[in-house]
Amino acid sequence: MMKKSTALFQQLEQTVARLYAEYAETECKKIHRKFDRALFSEDFQSFPFYLNEIRQTLAHIALLEEAKDTEALHFLSDKLTAQCNALSEALKTPTPHTKSAVNFKPVLSEREKLKQALNQLPPRERLTKYYEALQALNEKLERQTDLYQSARQEQDKIRYTQQIDITRQRKKRCLDAIELLEEYLAFKEN
């Protein structure tokens, strides 16, 4: 991997190195944990699998630094930090089936906490948040399409196609939620 000179990249690279150093002895250990799909592509894999995905994120950050794409750089930096934290937490805490039923408390991801908070909002406020999310997804889809069109390597085009598909699925779910909520509000008003 190329060495980058920016302080942000060096800090992220050190975070990954610390994670590896701290858990290198778990090299072949399978991690019995479900992760947020935004962080890792699969669940119940070994430490090297997750470390490889973290290193891929770090490599993407290196490319974005060269392209000076600050918005995507910020997003991926946050993702990398969340990946390291999630993996570290999964390795520190016992797997759910080893905890006693009395002490077991489900650990919610940030996305699940935000989803719960969103679902507790009144319908009109929730609809506003859904429209904001739809706008953000449209902007993300536009950026991903631009990245796809400017990609030169087939591997990059495949990756961008996958990202576009995921964003389109999220957009469809968002549109479905908006439609359902608008129908509910129209029904309630009548």
Q: Per-10-residue mean pLDDT for the chain, 190 residues long?
A: 62 85 75 84 85 88 78 83 86 58 60 80 89 94 94 90 93 91 86
Distance in angstroms (rounded) separating the CA atoms of residues 120 and 122: 7
Helices (H), 68-109: 70-92
Q: Which two tokens stand for residue 92?
A: 């520190």
Amino acid at 54: I
pLDDT score for 108: 67
Distance in angstroms (rounded) separating the CA atoms of residues 147 and 136: 16
Distance in angstroms (rounded) separating the CA atoms of residues 23 and 29: 10
pLDDT score for 167: 93
For residue 46, what are the β-bridge partners? 30
The secondary structure of residue 30, as a DSSP letter, is: B
pLDDT score for 94: 63
Distance in angstroms (rounded) separating the CA atoms of residues 154 and 133: 30
